[in-house]
Amino acid sequence: MTDSGDSTVIRGRRLNDHELLGPLPDVEPVEITVDGQSFRARSGEPIAAALMANGIDICRAMPESGESRGVFCGVGRCSDCLMIVDGVLNVRTCVTPVTEGMRVETQHGLGQWEDSQP
Amino acid sequence: MRTVDVAIVGAGPAGISAALATAETGARTLLIDENPAVGGHLHWRISQTLTDNAGLPVATGPGPQVAAELETLLASFSNLTLSLNTVAWGLFEDRVLALASEDHAEELQADAIILTTGSTDIAAPFPGWTLPGVLTARAAQTFLHVHRVLPGHHWAILGEGEDADELAGDLARCGVEIVVRHGSVDNFRASGTNRLAHVEIDDDVYEVDALAIAMGRQPDAELAFQAQARGAFVRALGGYTPFRDLNGQTSEVGVYVAGDAAGIATLPELVAEGQLAGKAAAGASDAELTRAQGLLNTVANRPRREAIERSRLTDSLNPS
Ligand code: FES
């Protein structure tokens, strides 16, 4: 289940070639889940980039208004891209690299910590 | 507490130039950056070094290539240490710098500190500016060139001037459509359900899926102000900037600021100013400093230079 609440998913967003930067270098693919659904990412890229490449633009919903937020500053300054990552709240996804098996969730409001493990 | 001769915060063009200048004198130099590689905005503003190396000691080429060559050059100095993925979050009395990385935190003391912390995008608010799909020019350039992901296929650009023109060129190179460009937030709004779908300018509606705010940048010299350096809001320099002497030293002895952090500058100016601060911080001779000041004057952009002159640190501004 993706919780984007959005009907338009924009596709074809990986910039595979670039006239100045050349072809996108090959890197190990990694698999992550976003709200329970599996997606492919490029190892080393930030979570927000992997999400965007897979058509996901919404990172969280504001605590009171419920409005959506996504990448704004892209460089770790604004906190619009906070999500829940492997159970940790308020992770800045624009500057946090993906790792194999990472569990990413849309953060609703302030989010909720998972029950502490015994 | 660890000590170094010179600590430099920010490994963009100004910081790299400062580090090369201090390292050449034999000073124990530490160059710190929060990113995983040196180069700063060369990685996202990729077209600046295509035809002019701006005084950097490497060949021209796309920004990331220039950055990689500079990293190799920095690595050739055994007295220079690179601390990447490291955030400098505090600057305290007696030039004590607080650093943090994923698994390490420390305070260190330096005889001289050079802040080459760059700039932050200016974003004036307008209705709909918080919608996903609306992002700063720097975010757009970072996603296009560093992460290689397109935030959208049909763009609006808000803002005018060099930064907006640069972004338009970058987008054209990526083969996406620029639907509309608009200069100011007046009568401008973004709309969509959960995500950007339209921009509205007066009574015209444009279908877009990405909107970049390219309204210019402001100096980012927070660490200097945290260390109690004196400064002022100087519009011609882009925002709050510290007063500095001819070499870039602030009212806090041994704390230098150079590059965009001292007032938005052109690339040749960032490089020359970094070199000058580096030489001064490493205790170069007066003759050498005069030469570096002369070089800076030859590449200096007139309005910035004049504004800097007006906020020059003098004895009257810095009563003891
Ligand atoms: S988009 Fe601003 S912190 Fe991530």
ipTM computed for the complex? 0.92
Strands A103-105 and A29-34: parallel
CATH architecture of the region A17-108: Roll (3.10)
In the predicted structure, residue B198 carries a pLDDT above the cut 90: yes
What secondary structure does DSSP assign to B167-234, as a single string?
Answer: HHHHHHHTT-EEEEEES-STTEEEE-SSS--EEEETTEEEE-SEEEE---EEE--HHHHHTT--EEEE
Contact A21 B62 (CB under 8 A): yes
Domain boundaries, chain A: 17-108
**B218-275 per-position pLDDT tens digit:** 999 999 999 999 999 999 999 999 999 999 999 999 999 999 999 999 999 999 999 9
A114-118 average pLDDT score: 59
B132 in contact with chain A, both atoms CB, cutoff 8 A:
yes
Determine the distance in angstroms separating the CA of B114 from the nearest CA of chain A, rounded to an integer.
22
Structure pTM? 0.94
B279-296 average pLDDT score: 96
Determine the distance in angstroms separating the CA of A34 from the nearest CA of chain B, rounded to an integer.
17
If you classify domain B2-120+217-310 with CATH, what class do you get?
alpha beta
Q: How many helices (H) and strands (E) does chain A have?
A: 1, 8
pLDDT at position A8: 65
**B14-28 per-position pLDDT tens digit:** 999 999 999 999 999
Which residue of A14, A57, A74 is in closest CB contact with B139? Answer: A74
d(CA B176, CA B191): 21
Distance A95 CA to ligand 1 centre (A): 8
B168-187 average pLDDT score: 96
d(CA B79, CA B269): 26
Selected for mutation to probe chain A from B143, B145, B154, B155 (highest A CB count within 10 Å) is B143
Does ligand 1 lie within 6 Å of residue A90's CB atom?
A: no
Domain boundaries, chain B: 2-120+217-310, 123-213
Q: Please, which pLDDT band fits residue A118 given cuts at 50, 70 and 90?
A: very low
Task: Give the 3-state secondary structure of residue B122.
Answer: coil
Of 3.30.450.40, 3.30.930.10, 3.50.50.60, 2.40.240.10, which CATH number belongs to B123-213? 3.50.50.60
The atom number, within ligand 1, closest to the CA of A77 reads: 3
How many CB atoms sit inside 10 A of residue A26's CB? Answer: 7
Residue nearest to atom 3 of ligand 1 (CA): A76
Pocket test for ligand 1, best of A57, A68, A77, A107 (most atoms within 8 A of CB): A77
**A16-50 per-position pLDDT tens digit:** 999 999 999 999 999 999 999 999 999 999 999 99
d(CA B59, CA B36): 22
In the predicted structure, residue A1 carries a pLDDT above the cut 60: no
Q: Work out the mean pLDDT of chain B and round it to a whole number.
A: 95
B192-221 average pLDDT score: 96
pLDDT at position B319: 44
Which residue type occupies B41? H
* B29, B8 Cβ separation under 8 angstroms: yes
**A76-114 per-position pLDDT tens digit:** 999 999 999 999 999 999 999 999 999 999 999 998 887
> Same CATH fold, B123-213 and B2-120+217-310?
yes
Q: Which residues of B touch A24 (CB under 8 A)?
A: 148
In the predicted structure, residue A4 carries a pLDDT above the cut 60: no
How many CB atoms sit inside 10 A of residue B193's CB? Answer: 12
B184-213 average pLDDT score: 96
Nearest residue in chain B measured CA to CA from A72: B135
pLDDT at position A5: 44
